[in-house]
Amino acid sequence: MSGIAEVVATAEHPRPDDVAGSSGPHRTDAVDDAISALRAGEPVVLVDDTGRHPCGELVFAASLATTAAVSFAVRHTSGLLQVALSRQDADRLELPPISRDRSTPGAPEYGVAVDTAESTGTGISAADRARTIALLGDPTTAAEAFARPGHVLTYRAHDEGVLGRLDAGEAALDLVRLAGAGTGAARACLVSDADPTAVQRLPEARAWAHRHGLVAVTTSAVLAHRLVRGDRRAAAFQLTIRGTDFDVVRWRRGTAEITALVLGDDVGEPPIIHDECLHCLFDPDACRCRAELTATLRSIAERGRGLVLYRHRIALPDITSSLAERLVP
């Protein structure tokens, strides 16, 4: 089995020793099971294992939100419920970003918080928030259905999902859309039972999901699922890097493009994410991420296994003036 096939096989059909609560470095339950659960109106546990926000989240289809589901979420999470929507849907509902972090490429983008305009209460009750969340997940809802500001935060997910930005918000929305359960994903961070001042990390989130009979899945598993299921493969070949032969597979969908460098039949760990950087091309001596990528590939070669995802930029970044002076006469 090739390296990339192993990643997908692990994502879709866990090995017998990968039981919930196991201590392996990278455990994913079946993505198909998560999709089925969401389609049935059940919540799932999603863990961002890519390093940016490594916390466990409770996720359910916004369109199927109920008072009971919201009550359960509030009881076991931080209580800050948000709904991930595509940017297109957020714009349609007139939910602009609160602010943009221009210093960090690909940073998560949060939209204004809302309540249902039909509420006669404060908007914070489980019943009120369930109605607000359900309306956000309904593609027929109009912008006038909401009062602003409110008690349900919105998240403006990349239109290409995890292929455009690898984050828990995009993974949650991808799962809901794959389930055909509306256009919004309700989500909230699970609070640690061991330390109520902290959020759950991967091992605790897996065990918590098992105790509550819920499917657990990771963002990298969602990415692997999407790369193989229904997304156009651009090319597959081998590339020798410093004496080591890597399997290289490239995918393209819409404006998003990803190159995967795979070594070994049993990758076993979450992927290393590297974003395309113009400095690497034009000013390599001053580029820190180039050195980090080189060190990562060397480490993978020494271990004999690993996976790097190289994400190509959708829009070119601003070029620093010093670099521009050297490039432009």
What Å distances lie between residue 52 and 17, 74, 108, 119, 219, CA to CA? 27, 24, 10, 36, 11
Can you say whether residue 177 is alpha, beta or left, with left for phi > 0 and alpha for psi between -120 and 50 degrees?
Answer: alpha
Residue 98 contacts by C-beta under 8 Å, 6 or more apart in sequence? 110, 111, 112
Domains of the chain: 3-226 (3.90.870.10), 233-327 (3.40.50.10990)
Between the alpha carbon of residue 206 and those of residues 23, 39, 40, 79, 87, the distances in Å are 10, 21, 21, 20, 30
CB 31 within 8 A of CB 225: yes
What's the pTM value of the predicted model, to 2 decimals? 0.74
- Measured between alpha carbons, how far is residue 19 from residues 93, 190, 213 in Å? 41, 20, 13
Q: What is the pLDDT along the chain (329 residues), one digit of tens a residue?
A: 444 344 333 333 333 333 333 333 333 347 999 999 999 999 999 998 876 667 899 999 999 999 999 999 999 999 999 999 999 999 999 999 997 655 555 678 999 999 999 987 899 999 999 999 999 999 999 999 999 999 999 999 998 888 888 889 999 999 999 999 999 999 999 999 999 999 998 889 999 999 999 999 988 888 877 876 655 555 678 889 888 998 888 877 666 678 888 887 656 666 777 778 777 777 777 777 888 888 888 888 988 888 888 877 654 444 444 444 554 44
Q: Could you tell me the sign of the dihedral formed by the alpha carbons of 118, 143, 115, 188, in that order?
A: positive
Task: Please tell me the predicted confidence (pLDDT) of residue 321.
Answer: 44
